[in-house]
Amino acid sequence: MKRLKGLKLSPSAWVGLGMVLTFVLAGIFGPWIAPYDVSSQAIDLTHKFEGPSSAHWLGTDSNGRDALSQLLFGARKALMLSGIVVAITATIGLTLGTLAGWYRGWVDEVLMRFVDILLSFPGILMNIAIVATVANPGVGVVILALAANGWVGYARVARGQVLALRERDYVTAAIALGASNRRVMWKHLVPNLMGPALVQMSFGLGAIILIEAALAFLGLGPQVDYTWGSMLDQARTFLWKDDWVKLYALIPGLAIMWVVLGANLLGDGLRDRLDPRQRGKS
C-alpha cells in the first residue's frame, strides 16, 4: 500500500484503480456470493425477463434464471480470460520488442515488418476469423484469437523504449564491463521498460473485455449464457417485447463500461505518472 501511495496518482487514476479492483474482486469472489449457481439453476420460462424482486435482485433472463448470478459468474469468466490474454500478449510482445530494439538489423526488420502486417489487418476481423474456424469455440480458442494480434502493441512500445535505453550510460558501461547481451537486456533494459508496459497492460485489459464481449455477442465465444456478451445477445433478441428487457440489457452493458472506463482512467494516470517528462510536475 505504501508503494501505491508513493506513486502519487491523480484522483481519476485512483478512481480507475478502485473500479478495476472492484471488477477483480467480483471475478474472484462473485461465484461464491452469487445467489444461485447458474450452471445448475433450472430453466423457468414462466418467469423469464421478470423485473427486480426479493428473489432476483436484478431480475431474470430469457430462461427465467437470476441475472445477478449471471453477472457475477460472467465477471469470473471475463477476469480469467482477460488476465490470461494480458499475460500472454505482454510476455510475447515485450520479448520480441526487446530483441528487435537491441539487435536491430535484420532481426528488427523482420519482426517489425511482421508487426506492420498484423496492424494493417483489422484486429476484430482476425479474431472473428480465428474463432469461426471452430464449431464450438471454448475459452482456449478465444484466448488464442485474442493473443494472435494482441502482442503487437507491446512489441512496438518495447522496441521504442529499448532504442532509447540502449544509448544510456549505464548500458554502455555494462557492455564495457563485458556483460552479455542477455544480461544487458534482462537486467538493465526490461526493468526500465516495465513502466510503459504497465500502461499498455491497463489499456489492453479494457480492450480485451470489449472484444471478448463482442465475440460472445456474435455467438462466437464459449457457448454459455452467463458471459456478459451472451447476456447482451439475449436482451437483443427480446428488446421489442418488454420494457424490462431494455433494462436487462443495461446490466452487462454497464458492467463492461465499468471495467473499460476504470482501465482507461488507470492507464491514463499511470502514463502521466510514469512518463519521465511528467514526474517533475507532480
CA distance 200 to 268: 10
Q: For residue 262, is it within any domain?
A: yes
Q: What pLDDT, on a 0 to 100 scale, did the predictor assign at position 260? A: 95
Q: For residue 223, is it within any domain?
A: yes
Share of the chain above pLDDT 90, in %: 38
Give yes or no for residue 281 having a pLDDT over 60.
no
Tell which wins on pLDDT, 273 or 245.
273
Q: For residue 156, is it within any domain?
A: yes
Q: For residue 109, is it within any domain?
A: yes
Q: For residue 79, is it within any domain?
A: yes
- In total, how many domains does the chain have? 1
Q: For residue 6, is it within any domain?
A: no
Give yes or no for residue 279 having a pLDDT over 60.
no
Q: Is 16 exposed, middle or buried (0-12, 13-18, 19+ CB in 10 A)?
A: buried
Q: What pLDDT, on a 0 to 100 scale, did the predictor assign at position 7? A: 60
Q: What are phi and psi of 42, to 5 degrees?
A: -70, 150
Q: For residue 118, is it within any domain?
A: yes
Domain with 64 in it: 13-28+57-275
Q: What pLDDT, on a 0 to 100 scale, did the predictor assign at position 282? A: 43
Please write down the long-range contacts of 206-209, taking CB distance under 8 Å and 24 or more positions apart. Answer: 206/259, 206/260, 206/261, 206/262, 206/263, 206/264, 206/267, 207/260, 208/81, 208/82, 208/85, 208/86, 208/146, 208/150, 209/78, 209/82, 209/256, 209/259, 209/260, 209/263
At 162-202, the pLDDT tens digits run 988 888 888 888 888 887 878 888 888 888 888 889 999 99
At 95-109, the pLDDT tens digits run 999 999 988 889 999
Q: Which residues of 69-78 are buried (b: 16+ CB within 10 A; e: fewer)?
A: bbbbbbbbbb
Q: What pLDDT, on a 0 to 100 scale, did the predictor assign at position 1? A: 44
Q: For residue 40, is it within any domain?
A: no
| Domain containing residue 146: CATH number | 1.10.3720.10
pTM: 0.86
Helices (H) and strands (E) in the chain, counts: 13, 0
Q: pLDDT band for position 224 (50/70/90)?
A: confident
At 106-131, the pLDDT tens digits run 999 999 999 999 988 888 889 998 98
